[in-house]
Chain A
Amino acid sequence: MSERDRPWVFRTYSGHTSARASNALYRKNLAQGQTGLSVAFDLPTQTGVDSDHPLARGEVGKVGVPVGHIEDMELLFEQLPLDRMNTSMTINATAAWLLALYIATAERQDVDPHNLQGTTQNDIIKEYLSRGTYVFPPQPSMLLTGDMVAYTVEHVPKWNPINVCSYHLQEAGATPVQEIAYAMATAIAVLDGARTREDLPADALPRVVGRISFFLNSGIRFVEELCKGRAMAELWDEITRERYGVQDEKLRRFRYGVQVNSLGLTEAQPENNVIRIALEALGVTFSKKARCRALQLPAWNEALGLPRPWDQQWSLRIQQILAYETDLLEHEDLFDGSHVVEARTRELVDEARAELDEVLAQGGAVAAVENAYMKRRLVESQTARARAIEEGEHVVVGVNRFTEGEPSPLLEGARSVLRVDESAEREQIERLEAFRGRRNDADVTAALQGLKDALANGNNVMPPSIRAAHVGVTTGEWADALRALFGEYRAPTGVVAHAASGAGERTLALRERVHALTGRLGRPLKLLVGKPGLDGHSNGAEQIAVKARDAGMEVVYEGIRLTPQEIVQSARDEGVHVIGLSILSGSHGVLVVDVLEGLRQAGLAELPVVVGGIIPEEDADTLRAAGVRRVYTPKDFDLTHIVGEIVDVVAESAAVH
C-alpha cells in the first residue's frame, strides 16, 4: 500500500445574480472545504453583450454571474487573493476578455500573473456543437484561442489556456466513441494552429502541449466511463508523441477535470440523483491511471432549477467522503491487468481513432463544424437515445420504470431551488450605467481603437485587452469591437439534413391525426420552433422539431438567439398554426410574456404557444395563466406524447374558429 495520494481539486460550478452575491457564495464554499473555484458566468457575459442590451433581457445574473467590467471582476474576487486561488472560468467566445479582466484584477491586487493558477474553458468547437454561446465564426475564434495559448505559455505559465471539452458533447448525446474522437479532433485543431504561429518558437511547442487540459463528462454507465478515461489517456499519449513529437512523458500526461453527467439527472424522484452523482464520481476517480485532476458535482436538483448553497454543499460532501473517508487514494491503479477493462478500453481506442480519422479526413474539427458533420452525428445519437428512453430500452429509474412510490419529502414545503431576484437585472444595469459615467471616455475610445488596430495587424489580442480592462471597457464594447472585424456567426443546427428515423406505431398513429387535421385546416400543420434569448442549449428544440417532422408537420426551425420580436414576425410571415418556445436559462418569465404581448400587438393573440425548458412548477402556473397552452419540463421525456399534445392544441384552436 502506497502513501495516500493527494485528492483532486474540489470545485462547484457557481455564480448568480451579481458579483457581490457570487463572491459571498465563493467565500462560503471555500470555508466549507472546497479547494478550487469554478466560475459560472451569465449568458450576456458569455455572449459578449452588456446587461442593458435588448438580447440580455431576462438573462442577467440567471445562469451565472454578470461580469461587465473590471469593477465586477474585482468585486467577484474581493478577499480572495488570486495568487492563492485556483480558478476555473467557464467562458468561451469571450474567454480572452475574461482572462484579461482576471489578469488586470491580479495586477490591481499586486499579484504577479506568473503566479496565477486556473483554467479558461475556451473551447469554441463544442460551443458550435452543443452549448451555443459562440459569437464569431470558427476561424477567427480559433485565432483568439491561439492568442491565449501563445500569451499564457510565456506570461501566465501555470494557467491552462484551454479545457478541451467532451463534457458538453455527452450532454448533447455523444456516445463514448464520439466524445473521445471529437475532443481529440478539437485538441488537434488547437495544436495544429499553435504550431503554425510565428510568435511561438518551436521549442515552446512541448510546453504548449503540456498545458492542454481536458474537461470530461462522467455518465451513469460508470464502468464504460472508466474505460473511456483510460482510452483517452492512451490516445492522447499517442497523439502527443507521434503527431507533435513531445519526448517528455510529463508533458504528454492526459490531464482533465470533470463535471458528472447532468442530462441524466431527473426531475422525477430527484433524490435519486444523489446516487447517480456519487456513482458517476466513481467512474472518474476509481482508476488511478485515469483519475481527474478536478471534479465538479452538480446538485441533486439541477433539473428543477438553480441549486441553493445547501444543495451544493451536499454534493461537495460526496467528494469529501470519497476522498477522505474511503481508502481509494491509498492504492495503485485497481484495474491494471483486468482483462475486462483492458478489452473495452482497447475497443474504445480503436473505434475512436477511426472516427477521429474521419473528422481529420474532412479537414479537421473546424471543417467538420462548418459542414455540420459532427453536429449531425450528435443529433443522430441524441435522437437514438431519446427514442430508447421513450421505448423503455434505456431504463431511467423513476422516469420510465419504478415510477410509483412515496412522494419526496425533499420537495415539500418551501422552495426547493434558488430564485434569482428579478430586481437583480435592474440593479446590475444601474451599476453598469453608473460605471460608464465614471470612466474616462477618451481612454476608453483609445483602448478600443488600440484593440481593433492590434487585431487588424494580426497582433495578439491579450495585451490590448488587458489595457482595455484597466481603463474600464465593458464586455459588450470589447465583443462589439471584435464583431466589427470578424462578423457574427450562425452555426448549422444539424437538424435539416437529418433523415427521418424509423417510425414506431405511435408515431404512425400520430401521422394519421396530423393528416386528418391537415384536411380540416386546408393546409399542412405548420409549427414554429425557436429559442428566445441567449440560451444556446438546443437539443430539446431540435428533438421536438425532428419528431414533429416525422409526424408529418411542416416545421420552421428558427434556431437560437432570437428576440421575441423576431419570433413574432416569423410566426406571422410563415403562417404557422402553433409556436413552440424553448428556454433553459430561467428567463422564461420575461421572454415568454414578451412573445405573447408581441403576438397580441400583431393581431395574433389566438395563435397558440407552448413552452419547454427548465421551469419550476409555480412559474409554469403563471405561464399557463398568461395564455401558454402547455408547459414541458425535463420530466416530459416522451416526445411522441408532446408532439401529440401540440396537435391537440392546434385542433382546439381550430375548433374555436
Chain B
Amino acid sequence: MPEALNLADDRRPEQRRAALALLEILERETPFPGAPRVGLTGAPGAGKSTLLDALVRTLRPRGETLAIVAVDPSSQRSGGALLGDRARVRSGADDEGVFLRSMAARDQLGGLAEATRAGVAILAAAFDRVFVETVGVGQSEVEVASLVDTLVYVASPGAGDLLQFMKAGVLEVPDLFAVNKADLGPAAERTAGELAGGLGLGERSDAGWTPPVLLVSARDGVGIEPVAKALGDHFQHLSAGGGLAARRRRGVETWLLRALETRYGSYGIEQLGGETAVRARLDEDGSAFAALARLADEIEETLGKPR
C-alpha cells in the first residue's frame, strides 16, 4: 500500500507510466460506489484532527477499515513542509485497519497536490472509507470538495459571526457542519444557530440535502455518533438519488481543468478547445489520470510547434 502511494508520487518517466497503469486498473476494477470519501476542512485550531481521531475510534470497532490523508501546506520559500503533529489516531500500532498518510499540499495557491487525488483513488480501492483532512487555508475548501463525496466543515465557536462565514464563502460548499468545543456551551450554540440560519438563506446545488449543523466536543467524545450517522446518511442520499456519479464526475472535471491550468495557464485550456472540450475528453478511454497525461502531452506539442 505505501509503495503504491510512493509510486503515484514519483515523477520519473518510468514510474509515472507504471503509476498510470495502476490507476487505470483501479479505475476499471473498483466497484461503484465503493468507499465513501469524506473531507474535513476548517480553520487551524478548530479541532479537525481531534474530531477525526474521535470518528476513527467510533468507526473502527464496527469493523470498518479507514484510510486518512492528512494534508499540510508546503512552505512557499523552501518547498518543504512540516507534516504530522496530529492527534495520533490511537488504535495502536498493531491495528493494520487504520492507515495514515501525510501529504504536503505542494501548491503555491494553497490547493492540493496532484498526487493527492491519485492517493485517494488508491486508498479508496483498499479501504472501506477514506478521510481527507486539510488545513482550510487558501483554495483547499473548494479543492477538497472536488475530491470527496462528503465535505465536513469543522467550526470553532466564536471564530466569527454569520457574516464572516458568508464572506469566506464557506456556506455553499460543505455537506455537514460540525461546531466543535460544544463544552463551551452558549458560545458554541450561538455559532451553530448562526450557521443553521445562514444555510436557510442561500441556494445550494444539491436541493435534496440540507446540511446538518451538529454540536460536538471532539475532545470529550460528545456528539460523535450523530456525525458518523450523518456521514452515512449523506452517502446514502448520494448513492440512492444517483447524484454520486455526477458529483464525482464534476469533481474529476474540476480537478482536470485546474491541473492543466496550473501547469499551462488558460492558454493551455484554449489550445485544447476550451473548458467544454476538455470536459468531454474525459469520456475517452482510460482513467482521468491518463486523460491528464494525454492532454498535457497535446499542449506540450502545440507549445513546441514553430509558429
Q: Please report A residues at the B interface, Cβ cutoff 8 Å.
A: 137, 371-372, 487, 490, 492-493, 495-498, 500, 503, 511, 514-515, 521-524, 545-546, 548-559, 563, 565-566, 568-570, 572-575
Contact = CB atoms under 8 A, between A and B. Distances in A.
Nearest to B2: A575
A557 B82 contact: yes
A573 B99 contact: yes
A551 B93 contact: no
Contacts of A493: 85
Nearest to B77: A500
Given A372-B45, A490-B87, A550-B80, 11 more contacts: A492-B85, A493-B85, A497-B44, A514-B80, A549-B81, A550-B75, A554-B74, A554-B80, A554-B102, A558-B84, A574-B101
A574 B85 CA distance: 13
Contacts of B80: 500, 514, 524, 548-555
A497 B83 CA distance: 11
A368 to B, nearest CB: 12
Interface stretch (B7-15, B229-237, B242-250, B291-299): B7-15
Nearest to A571: B2
Interface in B224-270: none
Contact of A550 (B1, B45, B78): B78
B82 A495 contact: yes
Contacts of A575: 2-3, 5-6, 9, 101
B79 interface: yes
A548 B84 CA distance: 14
Contact of B85 (A495, A523, A548, A550): A495
B75 A555 contact: no
B190 interface: no
Contact of A565 (B87, B93, B99): B93
A266 B5 CA distance: 44
B219 interface: yes
B284 interface: no
A566 B98 CA distance: 12
Contacts of B9: 522-523, 575
Contact of B88 (A372, A555, A558): A558
B26 to A, nearest CB: 18
Contact of A523 (B6, B78, B79, B84): B6
Given A563-B93, A565-B94, A573-B2, A511 B75 contact: no
A526 B100 CA distance: 15
B11 to A, nearest CB: 5
Contacts of B77: 500, 503
A487 B218 CA distance: 12
Contacts of B87: 490
Interface in B1-34: 1-3, 5-6, 9-12, 15
A549 B78 contact: yes
B104 interface: yes
A559 B6 contact: no
Given A522-B10, A573-B2, A555 B219 contact: no
B289 to A, nearest CB: 16
B82 to A, nearest CB: 5
A546 B75 CA distance: 11
A321 to B, nearest CB: 47
Contact of A522 (B12, B81, B99, B102): B12
A551 B80 CA distance: 7
A523 B83 contact: no
B81 to A, nearest CB: 5
A556 B78 contact: no
Contacts of A487: 219
A522 B11 contact: yes
Nearest to B72: A496
A409 to B, nearest CB: 44
B83 A557 contact: yes
Chain A CB within 10 Å, residue with most, of B11, B72, B82, B85: B82
Nearest to B50: A490
A545 B106 CA distance: 18
A521 B115 CA distance: 15
A574 B67 CA distance: 12
B44 to A, nearest CB: 7
A497 B82 CA distance: 9
Contacts of B81: 549, 554-555
Interface string B79-119: 11111110110000110000111101010000000010000
In the A-B complex, the 7 residue pairs with the closest CB atoms: A522-B10, A565-B93, A549-B80, A556-B84, A566-B93, A522-B12, A523-B9
Contacts of A515: 79
A556 B80 CA distance: 11
B84 A573 contact: no
Contacts of A371: 45
A544 to B, nearest CB: 11
A556 B72 CA distance: 10
B118 to A, nearest CB: 12
A524 B102 CA distance: 13
Contacts of B82: 495-496, 498, 545-546, 549, 555, 557
Contacts of B84: 555-559
